Amino acid sequence: MSPNRDLTRLATARLDLRAVAPADLDALYEINSDPRVWEHRPQGRHAGPVTTREWIARAVAGWEDGLGYWTARLVGTDTVVGVGGVQLQGRGHWNLYYRLAPARWGRGYATELARAALGAALERHPEVPVFAWIHAGNTASRAVATRLGLIDHGLRLDPFYREQLHVYADSRMPGL
């Protein structure tokens, strides 16, 4: 695969992954305003569509590095199941992110989405490590990271949220 290949749209066995776009506002607001999605970080819940619109703008800007977050739809439909992918962070690592609609939990979609993101990160910049910052109590998200083969390096200070979170990383994790 070419490191210059367009990664704004990928498909997995069950998911159509398309770069997050302003047209995704309604579906992404529905997911991000659901309190179940933010059980481990209630202050992150989107209180209104403006918050989601601002998040989408940041996600779109994240594609400047040739890779970013996708809106995940069921293959062959417009049914949004979640959002996720990787974005290059200033400290020299990919940030792995996935958030699914509660109605889609427990079906392996997060693992499928995250696996595609890991593959795309390795394709784009194989020398850059992949991190996933996860709350200690978020056992489902931690299980996804473990299924992907990421290693739990324990609690560390997340540079974005400024909170103690578990950092999972691939084998190339430099010192934090």
Count of positions (residues) in the chain: 176
Residue 119: pLDDT band with limits 50, 70, 90: very high
pLDDT for 90 equals 75
In three-state secondary structure terms, 13 is coil
Has residue 173 got a pLDDT over 90?
no
Has residue 176 got a pLDDT over 60?
no
Average pLDDT over residues 116-135: 94
**Is 166 within 8 Å of 152 (Cβ atoms)?**
yes
Q: Which two tokens stand for residue 47?
A: 């209180």
Per-residue pLDDT tens over the stretch 8-32: 999 999 999 999 999 999 999 999 9
**Is 114 within 8 Å of 148 (Cβ atoms)?**
yes
- Per the confidence metrics, is the pTM higher than 0.95? no
Average pLDDT over residues 99-124: 97
Q: In the β-sheet with 15-19, what is the strand arrangement from edge to edge? A: 9-11, 15-19, 69-74, 80-89, 93-100, 130-134, 164-169, 151-157
Give me the torsion for CA of 168, 169, 170, 176, rounded to 10°: -150
Show the domains of the chain with their CATH numbers: 9-169 (3.40.630.30)
Residue 175: pLDDT band with limits 50, 70, 90: low
Positive or negative, the CA dihedral 162, 21, 131, 65 is negative
Residue 129: pLDDT band with limits 50, 70, 90: very high
SS (H, E, C) 68-90: CEEEEEECCCCCEEEEEEEEEEC
Distance CA 62, CA 18 (A): 14
Give me the torsion for CA of 58, 64, 67, 71, rounded to 10°: 40
CB neighbours of 90 closer than 8 A, spacing ≥ 6? none
Phi, psi of 25 (to 5 degrees): -50, -55
